[in-house]
Structure 1
C-alpha cells in the first residue's frame, strides 16, 4: 500500500464515512460509524469518536493530541496512535490509504453477515428490491408533508380517529363478529391491510431518506406467527434521538392516516358491504397500530422508547442489567448512570409483568378451549406436552445460536 506522508501527519477520513451521535449501551456510550462503500457499521467509544470527528486533513497529530489532552486530561502516546491507525487501516477508513482488495473483502464479509441474519425458524427476511432510487424520486414531491403545518393537524386527526374508534368499539365489534360476510369482502380487507402495511414500511424508509439516510431494502419478513412487508433503515443509528423517534413513529402515523377514508365511509356511508368493510378496517387497523406501540414487543413503540431514551437496545440491556444485579449484587451495576439504572430496572420489571400476564391469559384461554373439546384431564396433559416441546425447541435454538457464534468467531 502506497500512501503520502500527509495521510499520517494530517489524517483524514474518507469523505463518504459517516459518524453518528452517541447512544448508551449499558454503562458505555457508543457511536456508530458507517462506511457506505463496504456496508459496514462500526461501533467506537467517545474517545475514538472525538479523534475521528477531527480527522479532516487540517489537523496534525500534535493538534489532535493537544485537543484530546485538553478534553480527556491524558496525552496520547505512540502505542495509542498505533492502535488507532491499526484499526483505521484494518477497516480502510483513511483517505489515501485504501486497498481495493481489502475494500472488496470487507464488502463481501458485510454481505455474508447480512445473509446469515436473514434466515431462521422464528424469523426470516426475503429482500425484494432496493427502494433508494424510488424514494429519491418520490421524496421531492412529498417533502412538504414533513413540515409541522401538515404533521401537527394530521396528528390531531389521528388522535381524534383513535378516540372515535374507542367510543364506538361495540358497534365495530358487532360488524366483525358477524359471520355472514362474503368471501370477496374478506379478501378485500386482507389486500387493503397488506397495502396499508406496505405504506407503513415506505413511511419508515421515506422518513429515513428525508433525514439523510437510506432505505436499503424492501422485502417480506417472517416473524412468528406473522408474514408482513418490511423496510430496512439501518442508517437510523446515525440520527439524533428526535429524528430516530420520528422515523420509528412514521409507520404507525401513516397507517392511521390511511384509515381516515374508511372512517368517513363508516360515519357517513350507507349500510352495506362497503360500510361493513370500513368498520372492519377501522377496528383492525387501529388495533394493529395500538399493538405496534406496545413497548414490550420489538415493534415501533419499543424502538420509539429506546430512541427517546437514547439507548441502543433497551430490552437486551435491561436483561443484562438484571442478570448482573441478581448474580453479583448492586456493585455490579454501579457503573451505570443513575437514570439508566432506574430505566433498566423499571423496564425489566414491567416487561416481566407484561410477559407473565400475556402468557397467563393465553394459557387460560387455551385450557378453557381444550377442556371444552376433550375434558379437563386431557387439557392439562396437552398443555404439559406443549410446554415440554417448547422447552426442547428453545434448547435447540440456544445450541444452534451458540454453534453459530463459535463458527463466526
Structure 2
C-alpha cells in the first residue's frame, strides 16, 4: 500500500469496535482491541491506541497528527500512516473500507484458533450453551446485588462463615475423616457442590455482563485431573483493573454466599441428623475450595485477582521471563520494566518458587511413605525416579510442541 485512500482522510473505526485500557505485559504497555464481528482480540501499543481512539470520523489526518505531536512530541510521516492503515486494513477495522471475504476469513481463523485451544491431552473445553440471553434477562432482577448496600454486608457474612469454619476446623475434619457420614449426605453433598460450582462460574459471567461485557459460552472444562464447569469471559481484558478484580472475585464470593444456609443449619440444627452432617461436609469442603481458589500461585481466581490488581496481563509468565533475563544477563536486562513491576515480578517469582518447592516436597514425601509401606523403600525410590523421568520427558515434549502466540492478534 503506497498511498492513503481518499475515503480514509477522516478515518472512523467500524461500529462495535471496543478499545480497552492499558495493561502492562513484559515491560510494555498494551491495549486490547475487540472486534465483535470477527471474534478477534488484538493487542496494540499505546501510540496506535492513541490514534485509533480518536478515529471517530470527525478528525482529519492533519488533526490526528497534530494531537499526536502534542502528546508524543513526534511528527507522523507518510510511512507511519501507511503502516497504521495497512494494519487497520488487514484486520478490517475501518468503517467503509471492509471486504466481506476478508471479514469471513478473519471470522473463520478466530473460530479455528478457539477450537484448537479447546483440545489437548491435559486440558480441553466442551461448550454447552451461549448464556447471553439468559444473563440479559436475569440482570435487571439481580441489579441490587451489585450495589455496595448488598456487597458489604454479604462480604461480612462470608468472613463470618470463614471464621466459623476456621474455629471449628478440627471438629469438622474429624467428622469427615471418621467415615461415619451417611451415604445420602455424601451424595447430596456431591450434587450441591456441583450446583455451587456452576453458580460460581455464572457469577463470573453475570459480573462481566453487568459491566457491559459479552459472555459467549458456558461449558465443561477438563484440566488434568479435574473436570469442572467454566464460563468464558474474554471481555475482561476490556475493563479497568478494579472491574477485572471484581469479575475474578465474583465466583469465590458467590460460592461462599451459597454456604450461608448450611452455616445456619450447622449452628442451630440437631447434631447427628442428616441435614447437620450434610451442612458440616459442605462447610468444610466449600470453604477449603474457596481458600484454594484464592491462592495466587495456582492459576485460579486468586491468581487473576492479583494479576488484574497489579494491571499485569500475565504475571506468572512475565515473572519467569523477568527472572530468566535477570539470571542470564544481569540487572541491566530488566531496566526497561517499571520499578513497581520489577518488585512485583521479583517477589512473585520467589514466592511462587518457594510455594511450588514446598508442595512438591510434601507430595513426594507423602508418595514415598505410601509406596514404602506397599513395596519397601528401595522400590519406592525406583518408582519415584521413573515417574520423575517420565514427567520430565512429557514436559519436554509439550515444550517442543508449544508455539508462542503472535505478538499482536489474540484469538
Measured against aligned partners, the alpha-carbon deviations of 1:221-277 in whole angstroms (never above 9, x if no partner) come to 011111100000000000000000000000000000000000011111112121111
| CA–CA distance in structure 2, aligned partners of residues 404 and 83 of structure 1 | 21
Give CA-to-partner distance per residue, 1:321-370, whole Å, 9 cap, x none: 11111111111111010111111011000010000000000001111111
What whole-Å deviation, never above 9, does each CA across 1:148-207 have from its counterpart, x for those lacking one? 000000000011111110001111112111213233222211111110000000000000
Runs of 5+ in structure 1 lacking a partner? none
Q: Find the aligned partners of 2:258 and 2:301 in 1 and give their Cα distance.
A: 17
Larger displacement relative to structure 2 (181-190 or 208-217): 181-190
1:268-303, Cα deviation, whole Å (9 max, x unpaired): 111212111100000000000000000001000000
- Map 1:1-400; keep pairs closer than 5 Å: 7-271=7-271, 272-400=273-401
Give SS of 1:20's match.
Answer: strand
SS at match of 1:11: coil
CA drift of 1:48 comes to 0.2
CA distance in 1, matches of 2:39, 2:334: 34
Structure of higher RCO (CA pairs closer than 8 Å, 6+ residues apart): 2
Computed over aligned residues only, the root mean square deviation of the Cα atoms, in angstroms, reads 1.4
Shift in CA distance, 403/11, structure 1 to aligned 2, threshold 3 Å:
closer
Could you tell me whether the CA contact under 8 Å between 1:7 and 1:94 is conserved in 2? no
Structure 2: unaligned runs, 5 residues or longer: 407-411
Measured at CA, do residues 86 and 364 of structure 1 come closer, stay the same or move farther in structure 2, by a change above 3 Å?
same
Paired residue secondary structure (1:332) = helix
> Where has structure 1 moved over 6 Å in runs of 4 or more?
none
Structure 2 CA distance for aligned equivalents of residues 396 and 5 of structure 1: 48
Indicate the SS of the match to 2:219. Answer: strand
Q: Secondary structure at 1:126's aligned position in 2? A: strand
SS of structure 2 residue aligned to 1:312: coil
TM-score (norm 1): 0.96
Deviations 1:367-400 (A, max 9, x none): 1111111111111111111111111111221222
Q: Contact 2:9/2:60 (CA < 8 Å) preserved in 1?
A: yes
- Measure, in 1, the Cα distance between the counterparts of 2:382 and 2:217: 45
Deviation at 1:123, TM superposition (A): 0.9
Is contact 2:25–2:312 with CA below 8 Å preserved after alignment?
yes
Determine if contact 1:20/1:33 at 8 Å carries over to the other structure. Answer: yes
Aligned positions, number: 402
- SS of the aligned residue for 1:23 comes to strand
State TM-score, norm by structure 2. 0.96
Q: Which whole-Å CA distance do the structure 1 matches of 2:262 and 2:396 have between them?
A: 46
Cα distance in 1 between the residues matched to 2:171 and 2:404 = 53
> 1:256 aligns to what SS in structure 2?
helix
CA contact (8 A) 2:175 2:181 kept: no
Check the 8 A contact 1:7/1:95 in 2, yes or no: no
Report the CA distance between 1:5 and its aligned residue: 6.7
Deviation at 1:6, TM superposition (A): 6.4
